[in-house]
Amino acid sequence: MNTRPDALADTEGDACYLALKTRDARFDGAFFTAVMSTGIYCRPVCRVRLPRRENCRFYRHAAQAEAAGFRPCLRCRPELAPRAGGAPAWSTEDASRILARQAARLMDEPELWSDDADAQPGPLVGRMAERLGVSDRHLRRLFEAEFGVSPLQYLQTRRLLAAKQLLADTRLPVAEVARASGFGSVRRFNAAFAERYDLNPRELRRAREGDGEGDAGGASLTVRLGFRPPYDLATLHGFLGRRALAGVERLDADGRFVRTVRIGAQTGWLALRFDLAASQVRLTLGESLAPVLPILASRVRALLDLDADPAAIHAVLGPHFPAAEGLRVPGTLDGFELAVRAVLGQQITVAAARTLGSRLVQALGEPIATPIDGLDRLFPTPAALAAADGETLGRLGLVRQRQAALHALAEAVLDGRLALHAGADPQRTCAALQALPGIGAWTAQYIAMRALRWPDAFPAGDIALQKALGVTQARAAEAASQAWRPWRSYAVLAAWHGLAAPTSSKDPS
């Protein structure tokens, strides 16, 4: 077995071992424990007998453990763990880390996730490098420095763990599992699975069937997604519920969140339900979305902010927002949809923005059949919005300035000038957004906070935010926010929800 030096140093390893003893879910996904005597790597929450310290190696990422020759545990299932937390790369001055993290996030995009790049590695890395504006050689070097593995090793681990989850939690045929997890053929999938895990995919499925796990088949699939506690579910539900658009989404009284979904050519529906005791979310989706399930799962993680590290965030914000521990910044399943909703919400109340959004959905959204009452529309596409004339939009209550902003936004997305996803550079994207007519700093920062997943976004000009902070100018709000970096997006949510005392009783400027 390869014991390459990309394991954590002894001092960090000793700290990880102490955390491993507690089996505390707050450390889930922060590191993985590889056991030399078994050749297996586990999550910190695994319930197996504690291994001896001298037999343990610790890795920040599952891909590192697999590159070193370890196989994932079939009991704790590393594929369920939240992704590594900690301070975001773009909160530092290190441009190399920024690019490496952006490259990792780009792997959640459909055109990079599932193609024949495992057979022809060059094009994949080349496309990623082109999107980031660097050479593929430079990208490989930066990626390996940040993650300890190459981009292809990282993506291969992501694909195999996604396939492992589909085999364990669903009854999808192996051929569909291979396609959904990004492999160009069943033969390559079987070979990669056997080489990395020393197990045939069908053998894994039979083993999990013996445990009585997996969905019951039929017209829907269910998988589980982990997160680190604590989780402020009441605030998240309140945020999503107040903004739910008729026909597209709904928060039920029992806490189930349902909505329609479009990912590429695939459309369907999903339902989300939290299990706080198990630190998991149950994602149920219509079978039409099975081909894009790994991508959808990643977007649900962003929507619910499941990869946040509450301990790291609270260490910075706790003194200022003591009641905000476990707060999450809601993301989105589709960046364009979020941007449209942000434009609709400019200078009006949340309720008014929801009314405009619901009208837009009914007028331009594609009908869809779902088994959930009232869920019958998809959010309008960029093409549909770009083609809508002023008379149609005017009847919905949209003034000309807002119409111009929506048309410009749709056209910028259609022609590729604007990318609205977590792999996009937040500062450059904010600049591009503000160059469009009718989109100002507040809207750009709000889009960066939710669609780009920028944890340090800060709409300083927001009146409600200024009021919560006890200031009257954007400059004063910006000054007050410096102590909250790199987690200002979370501070904004805390202030909006009244989870902190004002910074001062009057404008200090």
Catalytic residue set: 42, 462
How far is residue 269 from each of residues 258, 296, 335, measured CA to CA in Å?
Answer: 7, 11, 18
Residues 6+ apart with CB under 8 A from 54: none
User: Quick one: tokens of 158?
Assistant: 């992501």
Are 384 and 303 within 8 A, CB to CB? no
- Does 294 sit behind a cis peptide bond, omega within 30 degrees of 0 on the bond before it? no
Which amino acid belongs to residue 438? G
Phi and psi torsions of 7, nearest 5°: -70, 160
Q: Is 253 exposed, middle or buried (0-12, 13-18, 19+ CB in 10 A)?
A: exposed
Residue ranges in 281-320 assigned as alpha helix (H): 293-304, 310-317
Contact 176, 184 (CB under 8 A): no
Distance CA 15, CA 13 (A): 5
Q: Are strands 56-59 and 280-286 parallel, antiparallel or unpaired?
A: unpaired
For tokens 């999938």, name the residue: 189
CB atoms near residue 502 (< 10 Å):
14
- Cα–Cα distance, 424 to 214 (Å, whole number): 35
Phi, psi angle pair for 47, to nearest 5°? -95, 10
d(Cα 450, Cα 295) in Å, to the nearest integer? 17
Per-residue tokens: 304? 């619910």
Count the Cβ atoms, other than its own, within 10 Å of residue 316.
18
* Rounded Cα distance, 500 and 322, in Å: 7
Quote the CA–CA distance of 330 and 344 in Å, as a whole number. 18
Cα–Cα distance between 442 and 421 in angstroms, integer? Answer: 18
User: Closest Cα to residue 32, out of 7, 52, 3, 51?
Assistant: 7
CB of 445 within 8 A of CB of 459?
Answer: yes
Task: Count CA atoms closer than 13 A to 47's CA, side-chain side.
Answer: 1
Q: Can you tell me which residue has the tokens 């904010």?
A: 430
- Residues contacting 445, CB < 8 A, separation 6+: 430, 457, 458, 459, 460
